[in-house]
């Protein structure tokens, strides 16, 4: 397995003082905490940072780690050189709530024995914790229903007291009509129970991927539709995309920019189906050539129009 | 649970509204917290249960996530309760602002 450079992870010099290490950790922990971070791989980075700090904050572990560093041989795999930890006694258990620490194989191979055998809870029965995750789906998935594969990393305690990170892929049915913010509860897919306790549940919160041109609000969908000035002014029949397929739409004559055309029932097909609102966005043809400029000039001369009339500018 | 066209296991879950309600016992079990912790969160204004007294408290499904976030912030970042409450409010605001 690979050597982990904990100093590099925390961005500190190998000779850094303890308080510098603590400062570095605190800043990075805040930055990557999965509940508040927007960074990619926040969860993994948070774990890496936590593991690095777990070793470097403890003078005993830090010394042991430093000693090992120069002798680390990747081929050696899970066995540190003999006698390297002779004379060191690791005190205490790692901090943390349910003891569900989530360390890498590298860490476990060096410090795993600190936890001691029987670290698992014998004779203790408890239903597993529920897990919460967000699942990103496309708007179209909600219109038609879909199935989505998601990968989850769940920490688990094995019977002999080690914590392993189990990688799971689940295929989940995305029901038609699902809305942002709704949750799908998958029974028994959360953390394993202790003893004879049953597994907890997995809650998946639905979030839509941002769409190139649809905007979602509850069960309603908004589409900004570019139209030519003459289409808005004179009316037109245009083809319009919707998440359930293209449709023909009649634009009434004398439509103003920003006009909302409501297509009832064409929003998300929830229990109460939402509506699709087409919002007219008048786009000007470019005045790139002589002919276009002539036409614009004619409009200017022949149509009396002051768009700023209500602004009372001199 | 059902099986899709490829023969893979397809999980079918129960759809819950943000506003669906759970009991105090459900909340405690789901988030692995004690009743005492929940009453503290309510006192701090982090949770807003319906129902008059503890026995009749009902929490929205949305609260489950809030509780987990508070627990994590306290455990992982050493945030105290008032700080966690503030963080939650700010996170809500960010989510609101970032909505496309």
**B51-90 pLDDT per residue, tens:** 888 889 999 988 888 898 999 899 888 899 999 999 999 9
Residues of A in contact with B21 (CB under 8 A): none
Q: What is the pLDDT of residue B29?
A: 85
Which residues of chain A have a pLDDT value below 70? 1, 69-102, 112-124, 153-165, 314
DSSP letter assigned to residue A76: G
Decide if A36 and B30 are in contact by the 8 Å CB cutoff. no
> How far is it, in rounded angstroms, from Cα A141 to Cα A144?
5
Please say if the pLDDT value at position B5 is more than 70. no
DSSP B29-76: HHHT--HHHHHHHHHTTS---BSSSGGG-EEEHHHHHHHHHHHHHHHH
| Average pLDDT of the segment spanning B26-32 | 87
Chain B positions in Cβ-Cβ contact with residue A187 (cut-off 8 Å): 13-14
Q: Which of B1, B59, B60, B76 should one mutate to test binding to chain A, selecting the residue with the greatest count of A CBs within 10 A?
A: B76
Q: What is the pLDDT of residue B83?
A: 93
Residue A56 tokens, joined: 């470097």
Residue of A30, A171, A189 lying closest to B4 (CB–CB): A171
Of B92 and B1, the one with more pLDDT: B92
CA nearest to B17 within chain A:
A182
Q: Is A140 buried (19+), middle (13-18) or exposed (0-12) by CB count in 10 A?
A: middle
B77 interaction partners in chain A (CB closer than 8 Å): 29-30, 33
- B68 - beta bridge partners? none
Residue B47 confidence (pLDDT): 92
* Minimal C-alpha gap between A250 and chain B (Å): 27
Q: Does A168 touch chain B (CB under 8 A)?
A: no
Give the pLDDT score at A196: 76
- 3-state SS of A145-176 is CEEEEEEEEEEEECCCCCEEEEEEEEEEEECC
Q: What is the DSSP letter of A113?
A: G
**Contact check, Cβ <8 Å, B61/A203:** yes
Q: What is the pLDDT of residue A35?
A: 84
| Contacting residues for A23 by C-beta, under 8 A, at least 6 apart | none
> Considering chain B, what is the average pLDDT of its residues?
87
Name which residue leads in pLDDT, B100 or A80.
B100
A187 CB near a chain B CB, below 8 Å?
A: yes
Q: Rg (Cα) of chain B, in Å, rounded?
A: 17
Name the 3-class secondary structure at B2.
Answer: strand
Distance of CA A270 to the CA centre of its chain: 24
Q: What is the pTM of this model?
A: 0.69
For residue B71, give the chain A residue with the closest CA. Answer: A97
Among B16, A240, A195, residue whose Cα is nearest residue B26: B16
Q: What is the pLDDT of residue A57?
A: 92
Q: What is the pLDDT of residue A269?
A: 95
ipTM over 0.85: no
Instruction: Tell whether A98 lies on the interface with B, counting CB pairs under 8 A.
Output: yes
A:B CB pairs within 8 Å: 88
What is the pLDDT, as a whole number, of residue A90? 42
**How far B63 CA sits from the closest chain A CA (Å)?**
12
Distance from CA of B29 to the nearest CA of A (A): 7
Q: Say if the Cβ atoms of A147 and B4 lie within 8 Å.
A: yes
Cα A294 from chain centre: 52
């Amino acid at each position: 397995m690979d050597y982990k450079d904990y100093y590099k992870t925390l961005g500190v010099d190998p000779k850094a003082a303890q308080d510098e290490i603590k400062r570095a950790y605190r800043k990075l922990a805040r930055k990557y905490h999965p509940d508040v971070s927007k960074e990619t791989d926040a969860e993994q980075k948070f774990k890496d940072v936590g593991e690095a700090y777990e070793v470097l904050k403890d003078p005993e572990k830090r010394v042991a780690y430093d000693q090992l560093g120069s002798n680390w041989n990747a081929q050696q795999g899970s066995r540190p050189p003999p006698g390297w930890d002779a004379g060191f006694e690791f005190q205490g258990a790692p901090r943390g709530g349910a003891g569900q620490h989530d360390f890498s194989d590298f860490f476990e191979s060096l410090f795993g024995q600190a936890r001691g055998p029987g670290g698992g809870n014998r004779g203790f029965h408890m239903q597993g914790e529920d897990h919460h995750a967000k699942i990103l789906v496309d708007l179209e998935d909600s219109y038609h229903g879909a199935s989505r594969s998601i990968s989850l990393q769940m920490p688990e305690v094995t019977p002999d007291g080690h914590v392993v990170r189990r990688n799971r892929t689940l295929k989940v049915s995305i029901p038609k009509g699902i809305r942002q913010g709704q949750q799908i509860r998958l029974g028994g897919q959360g953390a394993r129970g202790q003893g004879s306790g049953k597994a907890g549940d997995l809650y998946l919160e639905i979030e839509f991927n941002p769409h190139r041109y649809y905007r979602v609000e509850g069960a309603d969908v908004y589409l900004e539709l570019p139209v030519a000035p003459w289409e808005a002014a004179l009316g037109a029949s245009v083809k319009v995309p919707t998440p359930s397929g293209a449709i023909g739409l009649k634009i009434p004559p004398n439509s103003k920019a920003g006009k909302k055309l409501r297509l009832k029932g064409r929003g998300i097909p929830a229990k109460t189906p939402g509506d699709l609102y087409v919002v007219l966005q008048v786009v000007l043809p470019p005045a790139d050539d002589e002919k276009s400029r002539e036409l614009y000039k004619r409009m200017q001369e022949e149509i009396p129009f002051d768009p700023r009339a209500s602004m009372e500018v001199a | 649970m059902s099986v899709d066209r490829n023969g893979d296991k397809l999980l079918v879950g129960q759809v819950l509204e943000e506003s669906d309600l759970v009991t105090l016992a459900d909340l405690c079990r789901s988030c692995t917290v004690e009743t005492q912790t929940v009453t503290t969160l309510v006192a701090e204004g982090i949770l807003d249960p319906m129902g008059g007294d503890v026995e009749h408290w009902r929490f929205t499904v949305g609260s489950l996530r809030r509780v987990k976030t508070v627990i994590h912030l306290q455990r992982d970042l050493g945030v105290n309760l008032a700080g966690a409450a503030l963080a939650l409010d700010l996170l809500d605001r960010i989510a609101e602002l970032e909505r496309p």
